[in-house]
Amino acid sequence: MSYKNLLLLPLVGLLLPSCFVAKDYQQPGEVVNEAYFRSDLLPEDSLSMATSSWREIFTDPQLIAHIETSLEYNIDVRIALQQILAAQAYFRQGKLGQLPTVNGNAQVTHQELSRNSQFGSFFDGGITQYEVSAGLSWEADIWGKIRSQRRAFEADYLQSVAAHQAVKTQLINDIASLYFQLQALDEQLDVTHSTITNREQALETSKSLKVAGIVTEVGVKQTEAQLHTARALRVDISRDIKLTENTLSLLLGLESNEIVRNQWSDQGFQKRLSIGFPFQLLRNRPDVLAAEYNLVNAFELSNVAKRNLYPSLSLSATGGLQGLELDQLFSLNSVFANVVAGLSQPIFNGRALKTQYEVALTRQEQAYLNFRQTVLNAEKEVSDALYAYQASQEKIEIIQQEFEAYTVAIEYSEELLDNGIGNYLEVITARENALNSEIGLINTKNAGLQALTNLYRALGGGWK
């Protein structure tokens, strides 16, 4: 067979039936179903708050500064970035998969032969050969295996990018959540300080009322107990502040330290709620994107595993210079070349290739189930955040009215007591209830902010 015919062999593979070519990925329609999305609380809008930058959503300058610090120094973000670089290297490799492999070679070979042998007597017992050559090998992608491999690398790279975005989204959510929590704790601590001051004054008043015969020792001790309760609450809140600062410092990638923050009344958040259409979650949420890219990767790798069962068509060529004398190596007489074209078909390999294909199919099914679970979880998180925000807004109005009622109750009960016709137990109860109500009001307002932050993350915001 001539060299020309050998070179034509790869072209024959390209004309084989196209039904064996690897299939293209199709997004599973049963996973992306808008019926899953329970977002009846708000009208759907063509815009989504997730498309806004986190710098537009969060308006507190100090919070913005903390987020910028975390994106630069957070360990998880930096690890995810390294994963992107690794996947990018494989992606670049996959893009060159259809090109031939070329290797250069330069070597000197010396062989000692028996002088009593046929060749040993001719070469006087030894032979030295010099060679400079290049080899080329190429496999025809007749089944689409190399193309699938390239797509798998690409999907893996895009998954690492989406995973990095998901880490950033979660990090921004956690930073904002802890920041708002710290502001709420500061507000609770201020309320507790004021309560302690008032109860210290109330204790002195109760002692005076006892001397006047209006209050008994029981009333004095109850007022003292309330003072100790407030002091214990101050200790708990101070502890929670320190622990929250430590957690936030860790997310910032810094040593545990005091966190600079503005007052609760100065906090800012863009409260415009627009969730967009449900299918936008698939474009905005990086974890959903990562899960689908993982499915694409598994799908393409199953294509590769299946195509390994088919025949492979390869072409290899070697050429260069070869001679027994170094000074004659670069002459025309030293030129050599060989070309080999071959078609190989796996016949028996201990079931290894079939096992690889079956395992690839199971991993593809796992990736599909993970994708579906991720979409369902995304829907749940959006729904949870929406209902939590609505509940917090309704509850704020109720608790505000409750707190105002307790405040009036304190005034009335103290006035009655001063006139000698009231019950001191009513005063004590009203004071305790007012404190709990005010703390509850702060917690409810904080819950609303947490719900907004969670909604922003659930919609896929934060990575842009």
pLDDT for res 195:
87
Highest mean predicted confidence (pLDDT) among 84-88, 188-192, 391-395: 188-192
pLDDT confidence of residue 329: 79
Residues 103-107 have a mean pLDDT of 85
* 196 or 429, higher pLDDT: 196
Question: Is 462 strand, coil or helix?
Answer: coil
Query: Cα dist. 418→124, 325, 414, 424 in Å?
Result: 129, 122, 6, 10
DSSP sequence for 255-295: -S-PPP---GGG--B-----B--GGGHHHH-HHHHHHHHHH
At residue 268 the predicted structure's pLDDT band, cuts being 50, 70 and 90, is low
Q: Name the residue ranges covered by the structural domains of the chain.
A: 1-27+100-140+311-344, 31-98+143-310+352-458
Question: Which one-letter DSSP state was computed for residue 36?
Answer: G
Q: What is the pLDDT of residues 142-174, one digit of tens each?
A: 777 778 888 888 888 888 888 888 888 888 888
Core vs surface per residue 284-317: b (16+ CB within 10 A) or e: bbbbbbbbbbbbbbbbbbbbbbbbbeeebbbbbb
Is residue 352 packed enough to be buried (19+ CB in 10 Å), middle (13-18) or exposed (0-12)? exposed
Q: Residue 245 — pLDDT band, cuts 50, 70, 90? A: very high
Instruction: Tell me which CATH homologous superfamily contains domain 31-98+143-310+352-458.
Output: Outer membrane efflux proteins (OEP) (1.20.1600.10)
| pLDDT at residue number 276 | 56
Q: Are 297 and 363 in contact (CB under 8 A)?
A: no
Neighbours of 127 (CB within 10 A): 15
The pLDDT of residue 47 is 55
Task: Give the confidence band of 234 by pLDDT, cuts at 50, 70, 90.
Answer: very high
Report, at the CATH architecture level, how domain 1-27+100-140+311-344 is classified.
Answer: Single Sheet (2.20)
* Contacts by 99-102, CB closer than 8 A, 24 or more apart: 99/138, 100/136, 100/137, 100/138, 100/315, 101/136, 101/137, 101/138, 102/134, 102/135, 102/136
Amino acid, single-letter form, for residue 109: T
Best-predicted range by mean pLDDT (238-242, 330-334, 343-347): 238-242
- Residue 369: what pLDDT? 92
Q: How confident is the model at residue 19 (pLDDT cuts 50, 70, 90)?
A: very low
User: Is residue 103 over pLDDT 70?
Assistant: yes
Percentage, residues of the chain above pLDDT 70: 81
Query: Would you say residue 25 has pLDDT above 70?
Result: yes
Least confident span in 9-13, 190-194, 266-270, 402-406: 9-13
Query: Mind giving me the DSSP string for 170-187?
Result: HHHHHHHHHHHHHHHHHH
**Does the pLDDT of residue 9 top 90, yes or no?**
no
